[in-house]
Structure 1
Amino acid sequence: MGDYDVSLVVASFVVAVLAAYTAVYFGLRLGRSKGGERWRWLVLGGLAMGSGIWTMHFVGMRAMDMGVEMSFDGTMTAVSWLAAVLASCLALQIISRPSVNRSLFVMATLAMAGGIVVMHYLGMYAMRMSVPPEFNALWLGVSVAIAVIASGGALALCRILARMEGAPSPLIRLGAALTMAVAICGMHYTGMLAMTFPGDAVPSPDNGLRGDWMGIPLAVFCVALLAVALFVAVYDLQERRERILKQQQENERVARKAFVDPVTGLPNRSGLEQRLLDALASEDARRHPFALVHLDVANFRALANRLGPKSLDDVIREVAGAIRDLLPETVYLARYSNSGFFLLVPDYQESGHQFLFRQLRELDQRIGTSAVPLLWRAGQSVFPVTGNSSRKLIRAAMVPRDLSEIGRFENVKADPEMVLPGNKAVS
């Protein structure tokens, strides 16, 4: 045993924190990936996390002054690195699965712990000391137990973060990384106590790797590697979010085009029909009857012949705004056709709607245009009296009535002989 260089101990802990943070980040990233993209992130994450844990181990070894120049066998060192990478890939694979049963979790914990233990002790054996090492059974058992507990705790912690709604905040991820880093360093330095060499032992002169690069240079290199890996992951995630946002905006644009009238910004025919279907499908629909009022500009063709397309759109927008100003917020307004609007009045029998109906009966005087006087015609239907389907309600409301009848529902009933303009009798 020897003294420890505090700066290298601190460097080993910093590397462990960054490696653990990488594990948390890539685990969450994997959970949102599929197919080939998932495998790419799994390999990249395993390489970054495994290299970080492996670097922490060798920087921690270099922190102890053994009184001799350290060197390592290249093959054993490479195998120890491979063990750390494979254990990390396994951990990330388990973290990112949608569900994990108890047996699989235990097996994954033991496999990950086994990889870390192999990496640690094989890395120490890689010095190929001239005298065989001595083992302290107590500390050996403690180091293995810490590896198992740390592996299980890391997997469980990352699973908890993965199930959190939305993306965990950076502080939560950092807290998880600090917890995991303490466990990783605890296993390493406990393992150092478990495996000791006699004072006159020296590394094999045949070792191909010099130990002077295992301290700060290796730590700096690994930190840079992990930083680049995290930068690539964050950059990719931002691009992915931008693509998702653009797709959502495109979907909203398509939805607006499908359900919104481009001239007035009001719901169009499809929007009205969808609103009616939603109202009719409600469990308590019959406890909340509604009226459907159709308002139509009877002389729209004359208006269109007199005005150009742009002026006509301006007039229609003005008319739509004037109608909207008459309505309370609870009334749904849609532009059903070039000349027609529909009002869906919920709970139409409430006394608060009487003022609205009185204004609608005076529509000829209230809404017009200086270009051409507007001639209004109107109709109405009531759910469930007039019908119990959107088709019947719309067709019934399109039967022209005198404006003075709008809002008067005393004699409203289903009419099997109702005739629409240009249509045969509707049954």
Structure 2
Amino acid sequence: MDFTEKYPLGSRPSIHFLPYLIFISYIVSLIGAFTTVELLHRRVSGTGWRSWVQLLACSVSFGLVAIWCMHFVGNRAIVLGDGEEEIQLYYNSTFTAVSAILPIVVIFLGFSVADRFYRGSRGSSTRHAALLICGVLSGAAVTEMHYLGNQGTTNYRLKPSWEFIVGAASIAVVACVISFGLFFHWSGHWMNNIWRRFIVACVLAVAVSGMHWTASAGTTYELKGYHNGPGQEKNINLIIAVCLCLGACSVCFALGFLKQLHQRKLKDRAQHVVLAVATFDGEGRILVNQAGLLPCQTITRQFIQKTFDDDFSTSHLVFQWIFRISRYWGGIIDLIPAMREHLHSTGHFQVHSPVIRSASQAGSPPGPEDISIGYSATFRQLFCVAAHDIAKSLDTRLQDLGSLYEDVLTTGTLLTQTPWKDTHGTKNIVAANVANISGDIEAGIANPILFGKGQLLVLTRKVATEESNRLQNAGYRFAHLDQISDPLARSMQVSRDDLYRLVGRLQSFCERETRVPTQGIYLTSFLLQPSPSMKGLDVIVPRNAPDQLPMVKLTSNGLAPAQVKILSYFNGLTLDGCMVRIDQLSGLSARDDIFLEKFRHTIHELLKTVNEPALRRATFSSQQLDITPVTTRQNDAITATVFAFCGIKEVNDRSLQSNDMQYVPLSFFQCFQRTYPGCPDHAIFAQKNHREFSTIFSSFEIDTPTSSADFGRKWPTLWSFVKSPSTSEITVNNDSSSERGLVKIGKCASIDSNNNNSSHPFGIMVSQDITISEDHKGGSQLELSELGVRSEASVADREQQTMADKLMTITTSFHGRR
């Protein structure tokens, strides 16, 4: 029988379906949906072009692969009649193209609304409304694509049922709302792991497939013509759909590969020296990127130590340098471009290293020949450049990036925690615990950093509401630690307990206020303890204020001359001796007895505060010392004064009786006292940095054995910084030891003023003959224009003596008498 007689025009051929193609159509939709969810998960939130491109890619993945491809693969499962080629479904190319483009546009609008909901800190009603709009638009895109694609059928008149249209659209909208609601909820709480994203993709695929087959079940096909061309034309859309599906699979594999690469980089970064920024808002939440990680930058793979016991810690001069510079970025900020050029030219810095991710290629460790020419200067330049890169990524000023935390944190410890069981098999012990238990037997302390793989320097700050909103609009988010503890602990390779303690210390440090006494007379203790292996001295300070000595107020006002004379009677006596002398001097006069009793009471309060037996053997100094002055808003100097009990503990006695006290390296404590706001040492410190680094940059150009042509070809960036300055004899300090002075240099060249007149944010004007070498035997001309606070200073000017310096002099003088 001829097929025209079997299927006359206007007839409705029978319909049956191919089950395997139905299943394949769902798999196609699942692939597109999973690709969409992965792209959404890895997108950058914000208003920049990159965010819009990523949202467009998500829209193309969902609209073109998950919906369009599924539609035509699913329709290929529909077999009309007995499968004759002339009466199967064929499509108009115009309708087919439009049906592919229109859902992409609608979904892009929905994703744009959801993106604003996702990154905005708005009320719940607004966020729920935005989520509902996203789900409705996505469901509408699925529905309109199906019916618009069916309208492109060339040889059939499709007649859908309104009941099935409403049911199919409802399935699409509800499933889309549920899936995107789950995605944004889990993503907002950093619980969006791959299994949860797979669940979201499955629900999205159900939305597309469920709508498609519900609509197909309610559609009748009325024949209006016969196909006269080759039968293979019905497979064109199927072939296109398969190709697009394979492309989506490739994207998924690429995303998985990038994820694994990123995880390896995170583990690798945890073994490097890394600079991170911990920014807290008013609610105590911490700033993280979309992956739940701190903004960070690798400084170098490893801090090169000259000797085995040359630990990079708070007692290290390099750490103290960066600690000071983080409190006065204005003293170095104009040198950072030159530092970057210098690092590029010397091969210590890679141009294309990432800013916010694990820049594992930045600053590879130098060899022994590099250490001999000044590794400490190289490390300090790497630190400044890394901080500047993070500031640019946060779109903030370097001066507002924060202050360096007062310790070097250890990361990567989780990699070496090998579990063992004790002899009874009841308790797990890890390698880090063994390190804490055993420690350094001779020194009597543990050294857990030996088991750590990396070191973390953290800049901390607390921001107001306006700044926190700006950072969130830039694509970052503030989160409670409970929300991001898992990804953050994995990236740092530390346990969650260690992470909680670390972040708690950072937040306390960020919120700590300088407790400098405003006025009055105080008693203080200055107790020193020789550090392990006799590498220096430590000072006992309060745990909650390591930048201050423990103090107790004696009087609120100044002392009368008679009272100063009374205190002079106690000079050189131990604390116990002072108590005896108070009893001996009692009965002089009623006024003196009141003062002596107040002195006795203050000593007892100091004993309660410090609670160290060594304090009773400490020697009293009647020399009245000014506490570090602080300038108020009215520019009135605060000049509270102290009298101190000075002493040195026994070498082997490192225990502390009070949990409220701790040891701090004396050199670091002195560094604390040079970093308060308005300190005049900032300007002198900036002057030294300019002189040192200008000498390094100049010496590098002159010492490079290349012609000018080769120089411009190999180091074009450095050539743009230094233009053949006329120089006198230049000698660079070898700086082979990181314990040597950070600003010692031999003789310095005369720097061209045109190359140094970039806008310096601080301002000391040095325009006189100055001596550079420490022995003051050599000199040369050096001009540095506008380096700080409008004043004049020479290199001979020294940083002011801190109270700790004066107390150290007193302590050594007392100790020398014994």
- Could you tell me the TM-score, scaled by structure 1's length? 0.64
Say if 2:23 is the partner of 1:10.
yes
> Residue 526 of structure 2 is aligned with which of 293, 296, 308?
293
What does residue 147 of structure 2 align with?
121
**How is 1:348-367 mapped onto 2 (pairs within 5 angstroms)?**
349-350=607-608, 353-355=611-613, 357=615, 361-362=647-648
2:205 matches 1:181? yes
- Note if 1:158 corresponds to 2:188: no
| Match of residue 75, structure 1, among 90, 94, 102 | 94
Deviation at 1:197, TM superposition (A): 0.9
Secondary structure in 2 matching 1:65 = strand
**1:262 is matched with which residue?**
316
Q: 35, 54, 76: which one pairs with 2:68?
A: 54
CA distance in 1, matches of 2:322, 2:211: 66
Looking at structure 2, the residues matched to 226 and 365 of structure 1 have their Cα atoms a distance apart, in angstroms, of 68
RMSD of aligned alpha carbons: 5.1
CA gap 1:345/1:62 in 2 versus in 1, 3 angstroms? farther
Question: What SS does the aligned partner of 1:398 have?
Answer: helix
Q: How many residues align?
A: 353
Q: Secondary structure at the match of 1:38?
A: helix
Q: 1:280 to 1:226 in 2, by over 3 A?
A: closer
Higher helix share goes to which structure? 1
Q: Which runs of 5+ in 1 are unaligned?
A: 298-315, 335-341, 368-377, 382-387, 407-427
The letter of the residue matching 2:96 is T
Work out the CA distance in 1 between the residues paired with 2:523 and 2:40.
52
Change (3 A) 1:352 1:395: closer
For 1:238 and 1:348, how far apart are their aligned partners in 2?
Answer: 57
User: 2: CA distance between counterparts of 1:229 and 1:178?
Assistant: 18
Separation of aligned partners in 1, 2:550 and 2:298 = 27
What is the CA-CA distance between 1:74 and the residue it aligns to? 0.6
Structure 1 residue 194: deviation in Å? 2.1
Distance in 2, matches of 1:22 and 1:390, equals: 55
Q: Assess if the C-alpha contact under 8 Å between 2:313 and 2:319 holds in 1.
A: no
Listed as ranges, the matches of 1:216-295 within 5 Å are: 217-218=239-240, 220-234=242-256, 248=276, 250=297, 260-262=314-316, 270=324, 281=513, 293=526
Distance 1:153 1:189, change over 3 A: same
1:395 equivalent in alignment to 2:610: no
Q: How many Å separate the matches in 1 of 2:321 and 2:251?
A: 48
After superposition, residues 331-346 of structure 1 pair within 5 angstroms as: none
Question: 1 CA distance for matches of 2:70 and 2:606?
Answer: 73
Q: Which position in structure 2 is the counterpart of 1:374?
A: none
The secondary structure found in structure 1 opposite 2:79 is coil
Give the fraction of aligned pairs with identical amino acids, expressed as a percent: 17
Distance 1:267 1:57, change over 3 A: same
Contact kept, 8 Å, 1:59 with 1:219, in 2: the verdict is yes
User: Does 2:51 correspond to 1:44?
Assistant: no
CA distance in 2, matches of 1:269, 1:137: 72
Aligned equivalents of 1:251, 1:220: Cα separation in 2: 43
Give matches, 1:136-175, under 5 Å: 136-165=161-190, 168-175=192-199
Q: Flag the 1:171–1:329 CA change in 2: closer, same or farther, 3 A.
A: farther
- Higher RCO structure, 1 or 2 (CA under 8 Å, sep 6+): 1
**Alpha-carbon offset, residue 58 of structure 1:** 0.9
Please give the secondary structure, in 1, of the residue aligned with 2:17.
coil
Gap change, CA 1:118 and 1:268, over 3 Å in 2: closer
Task: Letter of the 1:354 partner, please give it.
Answer: E
Check 1:295–1:327 CA distance in 2 against 1; reply closer, same or farther (3 A cut): closer
2:350 matched to which residue of 1?
none
Cα 1:106–1:349 change in 2 (3 A) is same
Letter in 1 for 2:112: Q
Q: Give CA-to-partner distance per residue, 1:249-296, whole Å, 9 cap, x none.
A: 64777xx9x99443597898749998699796289x99xx99663759
Tell me, yes or no, if the aligned pair for 2:175 and 2:204 is still in contact at 8 Å: yes
| Partner SS state of residue 77, structure 1 | helix
| Whole-Å separation in 2 of the counterparts to 1:263 and 1:196 | 83
Q: Tell me the amino acid that sits aligned with residue 171 of structure 1.
A: W
Unmatched segments (≥5 aa) in structure 2: 1-13, 82-86, 121-125, 277-295, 304-311, 328-403, 407-507, 553-604, 619-645, 654-665, 670-675, 680-799
Residues 1:22 and 1:350: Cα distance change in structure 2 (over 3 Å):
farther
- Higher-strand-fraction structure: 2
Relative to structure 1, is the Cα distance of residues 278 and 155 closer, same or farther in structure 2, using a 3 angstrom cutoff? closer
TM-score normalized with structure 2 length: 0.36
